[in-house]
Structure 1
Amino acid sequence: MDLDTENRLASLLLEEARRLQSEADREGVHAYLRKPNVRHRPNSRFLTATVRGVQQANRVVEVDEMWRAREKELELESKLKRRNKERGDSRGEKRKGDSRNMSSSSKIEEGTAYNSSYSDQDDGLGDDEVEKFLHSRVKRGRGAVGSRMDEPGPYLKASSHCRDKEPSPDIRLEEKWEHRVQGPERPLFLRSKSLDDCWH
């Protein structure tokens, strides 16, 4: 045993002797006859097992509470889905009813307009009205790309027709490339307009 340990034990013994002497001064000989209170060292395994048991019980309680909260959330979600579905169904039925009413009213208005137009004019629509009707309709096509369905063509340029019709002072033989097909022939009603444009 080293010197430090011996000194420490000696100090502990001296403190215990002083305490017993002070108690003997107050109580007499009974202070020496009384059994000393020995504190035993606690069992670490017992304490560890106790702590683990408490933790496990707490964990079980927490898991139960978590599952209860989850069940409540699922119930609320199902209720909200039902309400939204009922609202969506009612809105869809309302929209269908509105669309039916609008379509029936538009059909009635078209019928009245049709009847009034035919009552005013028994001969039918005029050329101007037909043209307005055709221009008012939405044209279905590819937009700005490619040819449009309301524009005729493509046809040969008016300059080629003008050159053919103009009286030329030089008489020459036609070459082979001039007989090649360059496109469809222009219709008669468009050909007359282009000839007028060329001569004027």
Structure 2
Amino acid sequence: MDLDTENRLASLLLEEARRLQLEADREGVHAYLRKPNVRHRPNSRFLTATVRGVQQANRVVEVDEMWRAREMELELESKLKRRNKERGDSRGEKRKGDSRNMSSSSKIEEGTAYNSSYSDQGGGLGDDEVEKFLHSSITL
């Protein structure tokens, strides 16, 4: 907790103690024994809006983290490609050949899955599509 918040809480507690002291001077010990005047029902609209706001903020943070992870993957991938080109590594040549041998039907099926799910949305990728995309890029 930061210093400003602690000071604010301390001032609230001191104010409540002063108020109770004044009431105790007038009414005696009963001022301390009374239950505080609080609402019995919480403000459900406020709580719902707060929860929605927190969920939305968390979703934004998750998406940002996913994009940062994707950028790091792309950078790592480009570094590895450059390193393989510089070395003339035969293993890198072998991997490229393996990807060429992959059946064209499986390539088409993957592309179709992404295109159909994107077109169904009409405005962008959903959470499932983003997650599927990120997982597919990891297995490359």
CA contact (8 A) 2:114 2:129 kept: no
Q: Offset at 1:40?
A: 3.9
Q: How does 1:170-189 map to 2 (within 5 A)?
A: none
Instruction: Kindly report structure 1 stretches of 4+ aligned residues shifted beyond 3 Å.
Output: 1-36, 89-135
Instruction: Say if 1:73 and 1:23 are closer, same or farther in 2 by CA, change over 3 A.
Output: same
Q: How does 1:44-83 map to 2 (within 5 A)?
A: 44-83=44-83
Alpha-carbon RMSD: 30.9
Q: Which has the larger radius of gyration?
A: 1
**TM-score normalised to structure 1 length:** 0.28
**Higher mean C-alpha deviation, range 23-32 or range 61-70:** 23-32
Instruction: Say if 1:78 and 1:53 are closer, same or farther in 2 by CA, change over 3 A.
Output: same
CA contact (8 A) 2:118 2:124 kept: yes
Between the aligned partners of 1:44 and 1:38, the Cα distance in structure 2 is 15
Instruction: Say if 1:50 and 1:79 are closer, same or farther in 2 by CA, change over 3 A.
Output: same
Q: Offset at 1:58?
A: 1.1
Instruction: Say if 1:29 and 1:83 are closer, same or farther in 2 by CA, change over 3 A.
Output: closer
The CA deviation string for residues 24-50 of structure 1, in whole angstroms up to 9 with x for no partner, is 999549759989624341111210110
Whose RCO is larger (CA < 8 A, sep 6+)? 2
The CA deviation string for residues 114-152 of structure 1, in whole angstroms up to 9 with x for no partner, is 9999999999999999999999xxxxxxxxxxxxxxxxx
Gaps of 5+ in 2: 136-140
Q: Offset at 1:82?
A: 1.1
Instruction: Say if 1:39 and 1:88 are closer, same or farther in 2 by CA, change over 3 A.
Output: same
CA contact (8 A) 2:20 2:32 kept: yes
The CA deviation string for residues 147-169 of structure 1, in whole angstroms up to 9 with x for no partner, is xxxxxxxxxxxxxxxxxxxxxxx
Aligned with 2:11: secondary structure?
helix
User: As a proportion of its length, which structure holds more helix?
Assistant: 2
Q: Number of paired residues?
A: 135
CA contact (8 A) 2:23 2:31 kept: yes
What percentage of aligned pairs have identical amino acids? 97
Aligned with 1:38: secondary structure?
coil
CA contact (8 A) 2:84 2:92 kept: no
Between the aligned partners of 1:43 and 1:65, the Cα distance in structure 2 is 33
**TM-score normalised to structure 2 length:** 0.39
CA contact (8 A) 2:20 2:31 kept: yes
Between the aligned partners of 2:122 and 2:5, the Cα distance in structure 1 is 133
Instruction: Say if 1:104 and 1:29 are closer, same or farther in 2 by CA, change over 3 A.
Output: closer
Instruction: Say if 1:41 and 1:86 are closer, same or farther in 2 by CA, change over 3 A.
Output: same
